[in-house]
Structure 1
Amino acid sequence: MSQSASLPLVASLLDAPLPVSGIAWLDAVRRENRAAFAASGLPDTRVEAWKYTTLRGLGQRSFASGDTDAQTRVVDASLLALPGVDGARLVFVNGAFRADLSVLDNLPAGLSLQPLSQVLRGDAEPLRFALSWPAPVRHAGEVGDAFARVNAASAGDGVVLRVAAHAKISVPVQLVFVGAAAEADLAWHARNVIELGEGAELTLVEQHVASGEQAHLATLVSDIELREGAQLHHTVLQHAAIGVSLVRRDNVRLRARARATLHVLELGGALVRHDLQAELIGDDAQFHTRGVFMPHGRQHIDTQLAIRHQALNTISTSNWRGVANDRARGVFRGAIVVAPGADGSDASLSNKNLLLSPGAEIDTKPELEIYADEVKAAHGATVGQLDERSLFYLRSRGIPLAEARALLTAAFCRAVLDDLPNKALREHLSAMLVGQLPDA
């Protein structure tokens, strides 16, 4: 039993009833992960991956398990609407599938979109690899992966999305995770399995939104597999309630000639942690990420990006921007590993950050390890304030200081959205960034 077992958070998570599926291997996996979490407990700042994110405050809180009233929570339909996104939709409220809010009729040919709870009532064997220990969380034997263990033990629902080989899904698919106000602070968990067959194409839009004030704890683990030649365009808008603790982990595997492009906006939440791990395991695979994290008030947003090149002539590019205001804190770690034999790899990572107030803080840590020949690799990070010369120029043209600061900051952030192909969605996300800015 770990030293943190007596913490209210750990006790409440261990006391929560395990989901029972009646599937022997899955129920065993859940029990094993619960036992592993009990043994390891929560990570502290001595764990390198959690060096800049303390869980002391969260550890003193306790949460009720799940939401028995999730099916009847009132959710404003306008929360689900996004410009340029009007295709299939799967909605979860406090971790529970809501058929009445979802749009699953007339799915395009080649697209299968179901809640995990429904799939588990049928033939769950195809999900065995994704849901079995240790996949998809390959390093969950480390104390730093405590929340992945909690998720593996406790998630009873989530998304199962499959695209058949060579199917091209032209209309964006929308996944929405709604945190809804409840009578108590809740802990809810979701597990996603996303598979694109050989040569398949998909545009995926993932939202995290709030319905009323709440201070829940949510964990979300996504296992994403791209077969040979598959293409995925994935946009994530995280705008959870300001009191929420949200821990997400994405595990992405790309086979030969597969390509994934990810755009991320991290705007909401009190304590937000996003672990994004990508493995380029096939020759000529490509992985591109663009992201903005914008904490304000006392928010803490932590992004952990780890990309591993394991095959010939693979490419990854990462362009991330951070803006912190008030007494907020942002954390960004970008790690790139070019493994032995991954000759011809081309990897680049950039993280630029702005501090808009004296009390704000951003900690950035780029890492690069190269064990192969004939490799192109570059990484860099900066933390600073707005350029005084640019401010002076705008003010000399009659623009007030507050407006000038907002204009420069917005331009700084919008750079990561320039290559988002959905124009309506791009303009909407840009407007959200401006609305998040101080003095905007």
Structure 2
Amino acid sequence: MSQPASLPLVASLLDAPLPASGVAWLDAARRENRAAFAAGGLPDTRVEAWKYTALRGLGQRSFAGGDAAAATRVVDAATFALPGVDGPRLVFVNGVFRADLSAPDALPDGLLLQPLSQALRGDAEPLRFALSRPALVGPIREAADAFVRINAASAGDGVVLRVAAHAKINAPVHLVFIGAAAETELAWHARNLIELGEGASLSLVEHYVSSGEQAQLATLVSDIVLRDGAQLHLAVLQNAALGANLIRRSSLRLHARAQALLHVLELGGALVRHDLQAELVGDEAQLHTRGAFMPHGRQHVDTQLAIRHQALNTTSTSNWRGVANDRARGVFRGAIVVAPGADGSDASLNNKNLLLSPTAEIDTKPELEIYADEVKAAHGATVGQLDERALFYLRSRGIPLAEARALLTAAFCRAVLDDLPNKELREHLSALLIAQLPA
């Protein structure tokens, strides 16, 4: 079911001017996606994937399309600086590429990195397959693609990143998306196209941050393809303003022997939604995801993880932690499908959650569907409070209650960062987790 097109949010998104690319097939695709969005409207809680995330409040708001002043808004580079991340960088402010804040020069051999807007000014034909449809076909196909469609219609910029076959990119690539305070509430959109060639390797950091307080709406869609034997480490840090609304879809496709390691940290935002979908389409592909979400106040953070094993001897492990306090709400849905013929698959998913106040809420739903033989699979989820015995132990050694609670909560969350290979970045993210803990 969907909410009608008469809602202020839907109307404002439909009223925004479409980006003019000058590419006939792309302009046609944008019009088609906008028409599909207008026909479908917004998903409501009767759609299973949106059962715990109501859009009633967001639907009553209007957002101006785009930011004419984005190219000149003042942003302090310290806003997005990260220890251990000093490689090539692309920065977008309110969805607009900022060359003055980026570092796209002196790229290592085998790396193509450019804004989508720049790629479209050249030969756009290589992008046609990806941009003429909303997103990679993921394992979940529900009537919940409204924001993917509006992104496909409205995203005028984003990232095109390609790593040549067998190229090893040592320095991490930094993609920064900044929501900057403006004179009105804005909606902006970005689309990322990322491909690692056969045997290539890359470390990538996606960073969402704010400059000043604002209550914008942003949608971001990423298509990531790993060819045979490619290796990707992706770290995602979301630390947007507390009033921001951020809707993302990340689709990964792993071919034979490809390996992906993901670390995701969700800290900011008012309403945050991340659909993370992965298909293991090649034999012996491996996907490992770790994540933590820590809503507080009245934040709402929703993570939808869907992994589909489609080939022989594929492996996936997922370890996610959630912590909520005050009146915050966290949502985690983890779905694993082992398709017919995917014999020898090994899949495990674990989600543990802590409630630090009686008014906080976390809804978790692990799912497992197996249609193949000789499969190892396990999933589990817990929602509880801090271990009273551990608290007593720490307090008996002279540690005050508040400090003891903070120590246990920090250790609970930091477990998802233990295998992050970049030590400086790992220590920085651990510090951010500790800073997010309730006083």
Mapped pair 1:415 → 2:415 = yes
Q: Secondary structure, in 3 states, of the residue corresponding to 2:412? A: helix
Aligned to 1:123: 123
Could you tell me which amino acid in structure 2 is paired with residue 99 of structure 1? A
Contact 1:2–1:39 (8 Å) recurs in 2 = no
Could you tell me which amino acid in structure 1 is paired with residue 5 of structure 2? A
Alpha-carbon distance, 1:134 to partner: 5.0
**For residues 352 and 252 of structure 2, what CA distance do their matches in structure 1 show?**
24
Mapped pair 1:234 → 2:234 = yes
Aligned to 1:104: 104
**For residues 343 and 275 of structure 1, what CA distance do their matches in structure 2 show?**
26
Alpha-carbon distance, 1:3 to partner: 5.1
Mapped pair 1:152 → 2:131 = no
Q: Deviations over 1:351-410 (max 9, x none)?
A: 000000000000000000000000000000000000000000000000000000000000
Aligned to 1:340: 340
**For residues 18 and 105 of structure 1, what CA distance do their matches in structure 2 show?**
30
1:137 to 1:184, Cα distance in 2 relative to 1, 3 A: farther
Q: Deviations over 1:146-204 (max 9, x none)?
A: 00000000000000000000000001000000000000000000000000000000000
Alpha-carbon distance, 1:24 to partner: 1.4
**For residues 24 and 139 of structure 2, what CA distance do their matches in structure 1 show?**
24
Q: Secondary structure, in 3 states, of the residue corresponding to 2:39? A: helix
Aligned to 1:350: 350
Contact 2:138–2:279 (8 Å) recurs in 1 = no
TM (normalized to structure 2)? Answer: 0.99
**For residues 141 and 329 of structure 1, what CA distance do their matches in structure 2 show?**
25
Alpha-carbon distance, 1:20 to partner: 1.5
**For residues 437 and 390 of structure 1, what CA distance do their matches in structure 2 show?**
18
Aligned residues with identical type, % of pairs: 83
**For residues 339 and 349 of structure 1, what CA distance do their matches in structure 2 show?**
17
Aligned to 1:331: 331
1:158 to 1:195, Cα distance in 2 relative to 1, 3 A: same
Counting matched residue pairs gives 439
Instruction: State the superposition RMSD in angstroms.
Output: 1.2
User: Superposed, which structure 2 residues align to 1:277-356 within 5 Å?
Assistant: 277-356=277-356
Contact 1:279–1:307 (8 Å) recurs in 2 = yes
Mapped pair 1:257 → 2:257 = yes
Aligned to 2:266: 266
**For residues 428 and 19 of structure 2, what CA distance do their matches in structure 1 show?**
38
1:159 to 1:242, Cα distance in 2 relative to 1, 3 A: same
Aligned to 2:165: 165
Q: Secondary structure, in 3 states, of the residue corresponding to 1:290? A: strand
Q: Secondary structure, in 3 states, of the residue corresponding to 2:427? A: helix
Alpha-carbon distance, 1:141 to partner: 7.2
Alpha-carbon distance, 1:137 to partner: 4.8
TM (normalized to structure 1)? Answer: 0.98
Could you tell me which amino acid in structure 2 is paired with residue 306 of structure 1? A
Aligned to 2:76: 76
- Structure 1 residue runs without a partner (length 5+): none
Could you tell me which amino acid in structure 2 is paired with residue 169 of structure 1? I
Aligned to 1:371: 371
Contact 2:263–2:417 (8 Å) recurs in 1 = yes
Alpha-carbon distance, 1:143 to partner: 2.7
**For residues 355 and 2 of structure 1, what CA distance do their matches in structure 2 show?**
31
Could you tell me which amino acid in structure 1 is paired with residue 285 of structure 2? A
Could you tell me which amino acid in structure 1 is paired with residue 367 of structure 2? E
Aligned to 2:399: 399
